[in-house]
Structures are given as C-alpha cells and as structure tokens.
C-alpha cells in the first residue's frame, strides 16, 4: 500500500515538474509540456483511475500554491483531467452478453471502443482550447485582438518582422493548431502509457486491435455541421474551426487503421507503411488524404469489404 501511494505521488510530482516550465513561456519548455500527462496515465492504466485522480489533485494543489489558481486550472484541464478520464475509459469493460463464461469461470469482457476514446480526446482538447480562448475575451473580436497582441509581442521579442499579413495568419491558425497539438499530445501519451503498462505487466486488459478502430457513425454528421459553422463568423466560427480540425485529425488516425488493414496481403507491407508515414511527416497535406481514406471507409466500409473478400485462413497442421 505504501509503495502504491509513493508511486502515485511520484507520478503527480513528475507531471507537475514537466508542466511547470511552460508557465515561464520559454519555447524550449514545450518539449517538457507535451509528455506531462504521461506519468498520470501510466498510473491510471496500471493502478486504476483513482490513483491518477489522487496524483493529479496533489500535483494541481502544488502548482496552485506556487503559481496561483489559474495555473492550477490550466494543469487540471491540460493534464490531470485527461489522464484520469482516459485511463478510466481504457479500463472500462462489461461482460459480453452473447458469450458464455470461459472454462476457468471468467466472463469475457467487451472493452470501451477505441473510436469513442478518440472522440473523448477530441472533446478534452476542444475544452482546453475553448477555456484558453475565453480567458482572452468573451467574443470573437476581443479574442482575436488578444491573440494578435500576444503574437505581436512574441514576434518582436524574437526579432521577427511582424507584418499584418503574418499576424492575421497566426491569429487564424493558432486555435486550430493548439487543438491539433492537444489531440496529438493526448493520443501519443495514452498509447505510450498503455505500452509502458503492458510491458511492466500492469495493464490488466488485452491489447486492442488498433486496425479495427472506427469512429461512431454520427461523427461524420458532426464534422459536416462543424464545417458549416466555420463560415458563421465570430466565436462560433473559431470553435467550429477547432472542432473541424480535430475531427479531421481523428479521421486521419482511422485512415491509418484502414491503411494497415488494406495492406495485410502485401509482401513489402512494412516498406509501404513506412513510406506512407514518412510522406505524412514531410507533407501536412498528406494528412488530408489519409483523413479522406478514413472518411471513405466510414461511408463505404472499405475494411469490411476487404476482409470479407479475403480467403479464410488455412487450418493449422
């Protein structure tokens, strides 16, 4: 029991130490900020969501006492709350009603779908972004002016020419870029935390089949609605743009799952997949193509058609 408490508190301290440098505003602090939820996620997956909650509360209180209440709230929204909730969802399972109990008396469990976890990651990222925007102002014009002033100050401190065109582009891109970065941060940290927990023997569930990851059907309708509101103007348009960017990103993640499925029969599968990932890293526009593949699978069931068309596996000799 004492060892578990020490692990939980150590995870909270590590998360707080990685989050604290970002409060200074130094660009190099971003490298430590992104993995700040990792240790709490490992605790949530290996020792339960309650452990992640306790570690997050301890870290949040420490940051609040040192830096003030706003910094405590920022840590909770960016690191502690996602680590606790996502850890809870990953370990959430229920008995399969259609399957009998196994011979050892254990009932087969149906785990919370990975696609729904991705949507929760999107929701958490959007909440964090909107909270940051509302801290700058109550309407679109006030928020944009605050972002413009912040970017102007940053560019001047970095001795970069702050033209109106550059400032306008940064103001438009900043909310969507922040949401995309948050989605990627939470997704990568959750995957890495699960790997760490599985390697250490603390992940008390089977590893999911990531190739089968699929978003709920209504996600596509939500994306269409978000795209429509992007042209409304004001704060609603800013929020809609962040939602659109986040949903396109998770469709890109499902697009990679489709790619992994459709290349199962290729002899040089690793080479083709490596080239696809390399192209995405080099060109951001390739992400849109992968997202279109994920959307096409949601509409036309590409993976299902492919798997149904494959010959059955040979019987074991």
For residue 68, being part of any structural domain is answered with yes
Which contiguous run of DSSP H or E holds residue 279? helix 269-282
Evaluate whether residue 70 is within a structural domain: yes
pLDDT at 70 exceeding the cut of 60: yes
pLDDT bin (cut points 50, 70, 90) of residue 317 is: very low
Is position 279 within any domain?
Answer: no
Residue 138 forms part of a structural domain = no
pLDDT one-digit tens code per residue, 215-244? 999 999 999 999 999 998 889 999 999 999
Q: Does a structural domain hold residue 212?
A: no
The count of other CB atoms within 10 Å of the CB of residue 261 is 18
pLDDT tier at 25 (50, 70, 90 boundaries)?
low
- Is 295 among the domain residues? no
DSSP class per residue in 179-223: HHHHHHHHHHHHHHHHHHHHHTT---SPPP-GGG----THHHHHH
33 is a domain residue: yes
Report the predicted TM-score, pTM, of the whole model to 2 decimal places: 0.92
Question: Which region among 81-90, 256-265, 308-317 has the lowest average model confidence (pLDDT)?
Answer: 308-317
Domain count, the chain: 1
pLDDT at 310: 76
Let me know if residue 41 belongs to a domain: yes
Q: Domain span at residue 46?
A: 1-92
């Amino acid at each position: 029991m004492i060892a578990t408490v020490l692990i939980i508190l150590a995870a909270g301290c590590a998360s707080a130490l990685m989050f604290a440098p970002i409060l200074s505003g130094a660009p190099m602090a971003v490298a430590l900020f992104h993995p700040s939820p990792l240790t709490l996620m490992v605790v949530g997956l290996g020792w339960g969501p309650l452990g992640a909650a306790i570690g997050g509360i301890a870290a949040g209180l420490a940051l609040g006492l040192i830096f003030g209440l706003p910094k405590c709230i920022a840590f909770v929204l960016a690191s502690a709350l996602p680590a606790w909730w996502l850890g809870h969802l990953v370990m959430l399972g229920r008995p399969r009603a259609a399957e009998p109990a196994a011979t050892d008396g254990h009932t087969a469990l149906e785990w919370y779908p990975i696609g729904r976890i991705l949507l929760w990651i999107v929701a958490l990222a959007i909440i964090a972004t909107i909270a940051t925007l509302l801290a700058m102002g109550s309407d679109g014009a006030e928020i944009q002016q605050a972002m413009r002033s912040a970017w102007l100050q940053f560019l001047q401190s970095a001795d970069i020419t702050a033209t109106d065109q550059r400032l306008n582009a940064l103001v438009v891109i900043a909310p969507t870029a922040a949401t995309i970065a948050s989605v990627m941060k939470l997704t990568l940290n959750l995957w890495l935390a699960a790997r760490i927990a599985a390697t250490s023997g603390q992940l008390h569930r089977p590893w999911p089949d990531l190739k089968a990851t699929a978003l709920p059907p209504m996600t596509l309708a939500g994306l269409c609605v978000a795209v429509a509101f992007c042209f409304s103007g004001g704060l609603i348009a800013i929020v809609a743009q962040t939602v659109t960017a986040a949903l396109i990103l998770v469709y890109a993640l499902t697009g990679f799952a489709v790619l992994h499925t459709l290349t199962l029969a290729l002899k040089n599968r690793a080479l083709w997949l490596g080239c696809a990932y390399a192209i995405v890293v080099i060109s951001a526009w390739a992400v849109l193509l992968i997202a279109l593949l994920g959307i096409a699978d949601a509409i036309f069931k590409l993976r299902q058609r492919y798997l149904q068309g494959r010959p059955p596996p040979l019987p074991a000799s």
